[in-house]
Structure 1
Amino acid sequence: MQTAPNQPIECVPTIVVEDDRTGLSVETLKRAFQDNLFYIQGKFAKIATQNDYYMALAYTVRDRLLRRWLTTAETYTHQGVRTVAYLSAEFLMGPHLGNNLISLGIYDEAKQAIGELGLDFDALLEQEEEPGLGNGGLGRLAACYLDSMATLDIPSIGYGIRYEFGIFDQDIRDGWQFEITDKWLRYGNPWEIARPEWSVEVKLGGHTETYMDEMTSRQRVRWVPAEVVMGIPYDTPILGYKTNTATTLRLWSAAAAESFDFAAFNSGDYFRAVLQKTVSETLTKVLYPNDESFQGKKLRLGQQIFFVSCSLQDMILILTRQGIPLDQFHEKFAIQLNDTHPAIAVAELMRLLMDEHAFEWDAAWSITQKTLAYTNHTLLPEALERWGLGLFGTLLPRHLEIIYEINSRFLEEIRLKFPGDNDRLNRMSLIDEAGERHVRMAHLACVGSHAINGVAALHSELLKQDVLRDFYELYPEKFSNKTNGVTPRRFMVLSNPRLTKLITSKIGDGWIKHLDDLRKLEAFVEDADFRQQWRQIKFDIKQDLADYIKQANGIDVDPASLFDIQAKRIHEYKRQHLDVLHIITLYNRIKANPDVDITPRTFIFGGKAAPGYYMAKLIIKLVNSVADVVNNDPDVRDRIKVVFLKDYNVKFAQRVYPAADLSEQISLAGKEASGTGNMKFSMNGSLTIGTLDGANVEIREEVGAENFFLFGLTTPEVYALKAQGYNPWQYYNSNPELKAAIDRIASGGFSNGDTNLFNALVSTLLYKDDYLLLADYQSYVDCQDGVSRAYRDQDHWTRLSILNSARMGKFSSDRSIREYCKDIWHVKPVAIELKEYVQAGAGLE
C-alpha cells in the first residue's frame, strides 16, 4: 500500500495530563489520533499509509465507545435484566466509523481534527473495509435492528458468524459478473475485541448412546461426537444514537479444539499435524457456501448449528455469571430467530437442557417454546430450508432424535384437533416423507416458538393464507405482523447530510430518533424557497453520483435527467429484466423515430447474483449489453443512459439512495416478503414505481396513492391468472411493442448478432414466465410514461419528493423494535447512567 499523499503534522505521542483521556473536543481527538498512530499502529507520518491513518482514527473512536459499552454490560449484569438475543446468520453492518461518529455526536469535530492534521477525512471513511457478513436485506435488517435496540436502550445482543470471507466482491468483465474473494479482515478489524476466554465447544457427527443417570435414576442420552470445534467470540460494540447504551454484536469464529497433533508432527506427518485445525476453521471461512453439493450442504448446516450452539451455551454462561437459575432461562432471554437459518435452536436448546443439565422433557419444552420466537422472511417455497435426513442424521444425530420426538408429540396434537385428517398430518409433519425424506426447518421453528411473524402486512396475511396456513389454523394466537423498518441514522443522517441539515433547520433534530416528526415537513411543501433548496440539494447529490459513474464506469450522465434506480439482489422474481424491457421499448421508439420526444433518463442498476444462479447472471449480462448499445448509439443523443454499478454493498447504497428520483420496486405481487430498499429510497425523497407487493402496499398507504406510481397485477389476480392457465405467448403475440423488445434481444440486437447468448432468458419468458413479466409489461410501460410526464414539471415533482420523505415515519426500525418489545419479547428499556469518572480496574477491590 502506498503512503498517503497528504502527510499530517509529525505524529508523536503528546504527554498531557488530562482527567478525561477520551474527551470529545477537537484538540483531544487530535492528540488521541496521534497517540494511536504511534502506539497502536507503530507508525510515524513518513511511513504511515492511508490504512494506518484510518486505523488510528477508528481506535480513537472505539476508545470513546468503550466507557459506554462496559457501563452498559455492567448495568445489565448487576440488574440481571431481561435481554433480547437476536440470532441471525447474517449481519450486514456496513462501515462502522461514520456511523459511530454520528452516534457519538462528534462527526464534525472528528472531521475538523483530521483536517487540521492535514489529512482527507472522507478518504479515511472510504478506506474502511466493509464487513460483508450478509447477502442482502435479511442481514441489513438485522443491522438496523441492532442500531434501533441500542438507540431505544433495549438490553440486547446480536449473535452471528464471523465469516473470514464475506459476500464476494463483484467485478464486471465483458458484461458478466465475476466473483472476487472478500478479504475484509486482511488489514485487521479495529472494532472487534476477541474473547477467547469465553470460548465454547460445539459437537458434530458421531453417535448417541443411552445410559442410566445414577443421580436422577433416569435413563438419559449421551452424544459421543466425531468432532469437537471451538467457538471463539468476537465482540463489537453497537452504540445507540446519542444515548449511553452500547450493546453487543457477538460473532463466533471456529477453531480446532486441539490445533496441533504433536504425535503426527514427531512422526514426520506435517500435513496431519495441522489438518484438524484446517478442517475446523473451514466452518467459518466463507459466507453461505455453495450448497448444491453434499459437502456444501454439510458445511452450511454445520455453520448453522455452530453459531446457534455457541450462542445458546453463551446465554447459559451469562445466566451462571449473573446467578440466575437455568429454569428461568425464558425469563432472562427472549430469542428471536431471524428466518429459518437459526431454527436448529429448537432442538439444540432442548438438547442442552435435557442432556447437559438434566431437565425432563416437559420442563425443557416449556422453556424452549417460551424463549423462542420466529420471523419468516419469504413467500418462496424453495427458500424454506429443508435438510435431507441422511445428512442431518450424520452431522447431528442427537438433534434428529429430538426432532423425531417433537414431531411424534406434535402429530398427536394435530390428530386430537383434526381427527382423521391425514393430509394435514402429512403437510404439517416436521419430516417431509415425499421422496427423499427431509427435515422441514420452518415447521420446526413454528412448533418450537411461541410467536411467528411476517415482515409486512401483505406478507403476514399470505403466510396465514398460504405458506403457513396449517400452522395458523392450529396456532392462530402465535401469528402477528411486524413490518420491517430501517434506521434513519445510517440511511439519512450519515448518507444524506445535506438533506439532513435542511430538514433539521426547519423542524429540529428530534426526527432522527422519532421519525414520525418528519410529518412536520408537510407544512413547508408550499414554501417555494424550501422547494428550491430541496431541489438544489437533490441535484447536487445527483451530480456527485454522476461524477462517481464517470470515474467508475467511464460513462457521462446528466444529473438533470431522471435518475431511475433499481439496486437490490438480482433475482428473477425481483424482475430487473422487466426494467430492461422498458429500456428497450424506449430505444425502439427512438430507432423508429429519432426525433421522438422522450424525457431524458439515466437507468442505474446495482446488485449481486448468487454465484450459482445462472439466470440472474444472464440478467446482469443483458443489462450491460443493452447499455453498450444504447449508450453508444448516436440516434439516442444521450436521452437514455444505462449504467450497471458493480459491487453493490452498504457503502454503495449510501451513495445511491439519496440520488434516486425514481425507485424501482417491481417484484411480482405476492413474492417479495417486505423489502427495505423501498423504504430507504423513499425516506430520501425518491418516488416509487411499484406493484402492490411486500411493504410497497404500506408505503403507498402512508405517502398517498397520488404520490406513488402503481402498476401491475394484484396478488389475487396473480393467483387467478395462474389458476386459469397463464400463456405468455398470448401477451407476446398481441402486443407489438413487447414483441419488438423481445425480438430485438432474441435476434442478437444486443449481442453482436449472437442469437444464442440470451436464448435461455427469452425462452424462459416465452415458455414459462413464472413471474408474469409479459402480463405486467403494458401496465408497467404505461405507468413509466406517466412518470416521464410527471418529471417534466420539476416543481410538482419536488412536492411529491418532499411528501414521500415526510410520510415515511412508520418505516423507522425504531417503530419495528418497539412493536417486537411490546408484543413478542416483553422487554423494557433500561437507561444507562455513566459515572463521572471510571478508573481503569475499578471494582477489583
Structure 2
Amino acid sequence: MADLPHSPPPAGSDVAETSSRLREAHAFDVRTGLQPRALRRAFADHLHLTRAHELSEATPYDRYVALSHAVRDRLVERWAKTQRTYYERDVKRAYYLSAEYLLGRALWSNLQALGIHDAYSSVLADIGVDLRQLVDVEPDAGLGNGGLGRLAACFLDSAATLSLPVTGYGIRYEFGIFEQVIRDGCQVERADEWLRFGNPWEIERPEHVVPVSFGGVTERVPSRQGGGFRMIWRPEQQVLGVPFDTPIAGYGSDTVNSLRLWSSRAGQDFDFGLFNAGDYVRAVEQKNQTEVISKVLYPNDNFEAGKELRLRQEYFFVACSIADIIGRFNRTHADFRILKDKVAIQLNDTHPAIAIAELMRVLIDEHLLPWEMAWEQTVGAFGYTNHTLLPEALERWPVALFERLLPRHLEIIYEINRRVLREVQITFPYDEERVRRMSLIEEGPERLVRMAHLAVVGSHSVNGVAKLHSDLVRSRLLRDFSELWPERFNNKTNGVTPRRWLSACNPGLSELITEKVGIDWITDLDQLRGLEPSADDPAFLARLAEVKLENKWALARLIQEELSITVDPASIFDVQIKRLHEYKRQLLNALHIVALYVRSKQGEAVTPRTFIFGAKAAPGYRMAKLIIQFIHAVAEVVNGDRRQEVLRVAFMPNYRVSLAEKIIPAADVSEQISTAGMEASGTGNMKLAMNGALTVGTLDGANIEIRDAVGPENFFLFGLDADQVEAKRRERFKGITACEADPVLREVVSLIASGFFSPEDRGVFQPLLDAILGVDPYLTLGDFSAYAACQRDVEKAYADRSGWARKAALNIARMGTFSSDRTIREYGREIWGVEPVEIEIDAPLSLM
C-alpha cells in the first residue's frame, strides 16, 4: 500500500501533527477503510488478485465477485469483533433454527448496512461501472418457499441491527426453490442452481465439521457413574455436516452476526475395496447417498423415498446445530445447570422440532445428566413458533420410519410422552379422549409421531404470528395444550425489515419520507407517524403520486421485456404475489377478472386495471398448478382481445425476492384475500401497505391488525370472518348455492364450463369447477359476491385520485408497528431473554 506513510515521523516533528497525519492516511487507505480511495483500491485489488482480470477484460460476473469480496472484507473485522465480544462478555445467545431462509441478494443490503452504497456507486461510476448492473448479476439465494423463509431473513437482519446476539442455523441447499418456467401456460420446474458459480459471501469452516448418525440400534449399558444404566446408540451410518458461514450485518451498527448453513458430506468419499475390485459405481454410492441430504430444498414427500429424505434433512441440520450450540456453550461453561440461562433456541415451525429430542439425547446420553435436569434445561431453552392453522400442515412422521432412522430419538420421545400424559391424567382425570388427543403418538392404521406436539411440550414458549392466529392456536389448533399450560402461549405478530422492503426497494419513496421525517425512520419505523400531517398537503400527495407512477413505469417496462405485454401505468396495478395455494384464493381473483371481462364485453364501463400475479405452486400440488394454468388461459383471452383495452393480466414467472422488490413499489392494490382463519399472518400484506398499496382483504392473519392500524376507511374489507367460515365448513357449504344466488357468478362459471378459455381441451378446468361448486372448504364462491362488491368500491375510490393518494399516505404513515425490529425486540425481551450487545470498533482491527 504505497500511499500509506510507512516511514517514522521526521525527527523533531510535532507529535499531535504526526498523529493527525496518520489518522488521515488511515481514513483514506486502510485495507478495509470506507473512504472512496480505499473502496476503489479494494475493488481493483479483488478484480486483479481474486478474479485475475483487469477492468477492461472483466465480465460483469468478475466485477460482481470483486465488489462482493471488497464489501465482505469490510464486514469481516466487525464480524470477528462481534463474535469475540459475545464470548468475552459471556452473554446469553439466541439460536434461530429454520429449514428455510429466503435471503434475496446480499450485495445491496450489505452496502446499505455499511453506509457505503452511495460512495461505491460514485467510485464505480468514475471507472465506467454501473453498480445497479452488478447488483442484478447476483442470483437470489432461494433457500425457502415463501413467507416462512423471508420472515427468517427479516429476523436475522433486525437482530443484527438491534445488536442482539442471534445466530441463524439452516441447510445449505445446493438447489434452492425451483426455477419456475411457464410453458404453454403451465408451470414447469427447473433446478435452481444458485451455487453454480460459487457464493462470494460465505466462508467454509471445515474445522468445525460435525458427524451425524442415522439408523442402527440402541443398547443399554451400565452407567459409568455406577448404580444404573445408560443408553448407547450404535448407528449404522454416519455423515458429516460442514458449516458455511454468511455474515449478517446490522444497519448502522458494527454488529455482524452469523448465519451458519450446513452441507452434507460423506464420511468416506468412496470404498477403496470396491474401487480396486472394479465396482466403480458402488464405490461412490455412499458418497452420493450422503450428499443428497443437502442437495434440494424440500423433496417431494408424496412418496416414501421423499419422506425419508426430508426427515434425514431435518435431523441432519438439527443435529449439526445442537452440536454447535453445545460446543459454543462448553467453550466457557462446564455446568449444564445454567444452559437455559445462556442459550435460547427458537424453532421456526415444526421442521426443526426434532431438536428437542436431540438436545435431550446429548444431555442424558453424552453428558450424563439426570432426566429431570436435562428436561428442565431443554424446556427452558426452547421456544416454538407456529406458522399454520391447517391441521394437515402439521408434520407427522411414521413411527416405523422414525424407528429405522432415529431409534434413540424415538425412545426419548416415548419417554417424554409417558411423562407428559401422566401429567395430563393427573390434571384432567377420567378424560381419556384428551389423553389420546394430546399424545405425541397418533394411533391409527399407521402410527405417527406428532412433531407439533413435541415442539409444544418441549418449549417454554409457544407463539403464533398474528393476534388472530395466536388466538386460534390457543382456542382450536392446540387447545388441549393451552389449557394445560396457558402461561406458555403468546403472540408475536410478524414484521418485515424496512431496510430491504422500503429503503432499498423503493428509493423514490424513501427519499420523500426522509425529507419529511429525517433519516432515523430506517431503524425506528414508528417515525413514519410524522408523515400523517402531510396526508392533507396537496403538494406532498402530488409528489407521492409521482413516485408511484415512476415505479409503475419501471414495472411496465419489465413486463414488456419479459412477457411482451403492454400495460398502462395509469391503470390500477392490482397485485397478488404469494405462494400458490387454494386457501390464498388466487382463483377468486381470477374469477373476478373474468367477471370484469364480461362486464367490459357487455359495454359496461370498467376502470382500467392491470392484474399482476407472482406465485409458485409446489411441484406435487396438482390443483395449484391447474390454477396457474387457468390464470394464463384468462390472460391469453383478455390480453389478446383487441376490442377491449381496459384490462390486462400479467403472470410474472419465477417469483422471488428480487422480483418482489420490483413489483411491490409499483402496486396500487394489495390482494390479501385468503379464507379467514387460514392464513397465519402474511408478510406480503405488510410490505405492500408499507409502500403505499391499499389492501383488499379478509379478516385473516395480520390483515386485522393492519386494518386497525391504518384505519378501516383506508382498507377494503370483504368476506366472512373466521367464525363464520368455521360455521360454513361445519355445515359443508356447497359453492353451487352461491352460484345459483348470483347471476354474475353463474355467468362466469358457465363461461368457464363451456370451454371458452380452453377451446382445445374444453374439460381441462373442470376439476377446478368441481372443487368450488361442491363442498369447498375455502369458500371461493361463497365470498365471491362480497369480493366483487368490494372491488366496485376500489374502482370508485381510485376515481378520486387525491383521495386515493391520501389513503396511500396514511397507510405508509401508520405501518410502523409492522417492522421486524419491533417483533424481534419482543422475542428478545419476552421469550429469549437476550439483551443488546454494543460492538465497539474503537481502532482499526487490521492495524491491531
Moved more, 18-27 or 249-258: 18-27
How far apart are residue 488 of structure 1 and its match? 0.2
Corresponding position: 1:788 with 2:795: yes
Match of 2:198, SS state, is: coil
Match of 2:626, SS state, is: helix
Q: Deviations over 1:653-701 (max 9, x none)?
A: 1101110000000000000000000000000000000000000000000
Of 586, 591, 598 in structure 1, the residue corresponding to residue 601 of structure 2 is: 591
Q: Give unmatched runs, 5+ long, in structure 1.
A: 1-12
How far apart are residue 607 of structure 1 and its match? 0.7
Letter in 1 for 2:828: C
Q: Which residue is 2:541 aligned to? A: 531
Moved more, 750-759 or 620-629: 750-759
Letter in 2 for 1:800: K
Distance in 2 between residues matched to 1:179 and 1:102, nearest whole Å = 33
1:329, 1:367 within 8 Å by CA — same for their partners in 2?
Answer: yes
Match of 2:187, SS state, is: strand
Tell me the TM-score normalized by structure 2. 0.96
Q: Which residue is 1:9 aligned to? A: none
Question: Within 5 Å, which residues of 2 pair with 1:744-823?
Answer: 744-752=751-759, 754-823=761-830
Corresponding position: 1:554 with 2:564: yes
Of 390, 409, 423 in structure 2, the residue corresponding to residue 380 of structure 1 is: 390
Of 562, 569, 582 in structure 1, the residue corresponding to residue 579 of structure 2 is: 569
Distance in 2 between residues matched to 1:834 and 1:585, nearest whole Å = 61
Question: Within 5 Å, which residues of 2 pair with 1:421-820?
Answer: 421-593=431-603, 596-636=604-644, 638-752=645-759, 754-820=761-827
Corresponding position: 1:271 with 2:281: yes
How far apart are residue 14 of structure 1 and its match? 8.1
How far apart are residue 46 of structure 1 and its match? 4.2
Letter in 2 for 1:605: F
Question: Within 5 Å, which residues of 2 pair with 1:326-365?
Answer: 326-365=336-375
1:83, 1:156 within 8 Å by CA — same for their partners in 2?
Answer: yes
Match of 1:631, SS state, is: helix
Question: Within 5 Å, which residues of 2 pair with 1:223-302?
Answer: 223-302=233-312
How far apart are residue 16 of structure 1 and its match? 5.9
1:431, 1:440 within 8 Å by CA — same for their partners in 2?
Answer: yes
Q: Which residue is 1:45 aligned to? A: 55
Q: Aligned residue pairs: how many?
A: 826
Letter in 1 for 2:634: V
Letter in 1 for 2:384: Y
Q: Which residue is 1:219 aligned to? A: 229
Match of 2:640, SS state, is: coil
Distance in 2 between residues matched to 1:419 and 1:181, nearest whole Å = 54
Moved more, 243-252 or 214-223: 214-223
Moved more, 182-191 or 727-736: 727-736
Q: Deviations over 1:566-585 (max 9, x none)?
A: 00000000000000111000
Q: Which residue is 2:12 aligned to? A: none
Distance in 2 between residues matched to 1:52 and 1:14, nearest whole Å = 25
Q: Which residue is 2:154 aligned to? A: 144
2:31, 2:846 within 8 Å by CA — same for their partners in 1?
Answer: no
Distance in 2 between residues matched to 1:707 and 1:623, nearest whole Å = 28
Letter in 2 for 1:521: L
Q: Give unmatched runs, 5+ long, in structure 2.
A: 6-24
How far apart are residue 273 of structure 1 and its match? 2.5
Q: Which residue is 2:17 aligned to? A: none
Letter in 2 for 1:25: Q
Match of 1:525, SS state, is: helix
Of 135, 140, 143 in structure 2, the residue corresponding to residue 125 of structure 1 is: 135
How far apart are residue 24 of structure 1 and its match? 1.4
Question: Within 5 Å, which residues of 2 pair with 1:95-114?
Answer: 95-114=105-124
Of 214, 217, 228 in structure 2, the residue corresponding to residue 204 of structure 1 is: 214
How far apart are residue 327 of structure 1 and its match? 3.0
Q: Which residue is 2:100 aligned to? A: 90
Letter in 2 for 1:683: M
1:316, 1:326 within 8 Å by CA — same for their partners in 2?
Answer: no
Distance in 1 between residues matched to 2:537 and 2:197, nearest whole Å = 50
Q: Which residue is 2:16 aligned to? A: none
Match of 2:33, SS state, is: coil
How far apart are residue 278 of structure 1 and its match? 1.3
Corresponding position: 1:159 with 2:157: no
Tell me the TM-score normalized by structure 1. 0.97
Match of 1:419, SS state, is: coil
1:747, 1:753 within 8 Å by CA — same for their partners in 2?
Answer: no
1:175, 1:620 within 8 Å by CA — same for their partners in 2?
Answer: yes
Q: Which residue is 2:72 aligned to? A: 62
Letter in 1 for 2:749: I
Match of 1:775, SS state, is: coil
Letter in 2 for 1:343: A
How far apart are residue 324 of structure 1 and its match? 4.7
Distance in 1 between residues matched to 2:636 and 2:541, nearest whole Å = 36
2:32, 2:846 within 8 Å by CA — same for their partners in 1?
Answer: no
Q: 1:418 to 1:36 in 2, by over 3 A?
A: same
Q: Which residue is 1:827 aligned to? A: 834
How far apart are residue 264 of structure 1 and its match? 2.1
Question: Within 5 Å, which residues of 2 pair with 1:389-428?
Answer: 389-428=399-438
Q: What CA RMSD, in Å, does the superposition of the two structures yield over aligned residues?
A: 1.2
2:470, 2:491 within 8 Å by CA — same for their partners in 1?
Answer: yes
Match of 2:845, SS state, is: coil
Distance in 2 between residues matched to 1:140 and 1:497, nearest whole Å = 21
How far apart are residue 332 of structure 1 and its match? 1.2
How far apart are residue 720 of structure 1 and its match? 1.7
2:92, 2:341 within 8 Å by CA — same for their partners in 1?
Answer: yes
Distance in 2 between residues matched to 1:246 and 1:727, nearest whole Å = 54
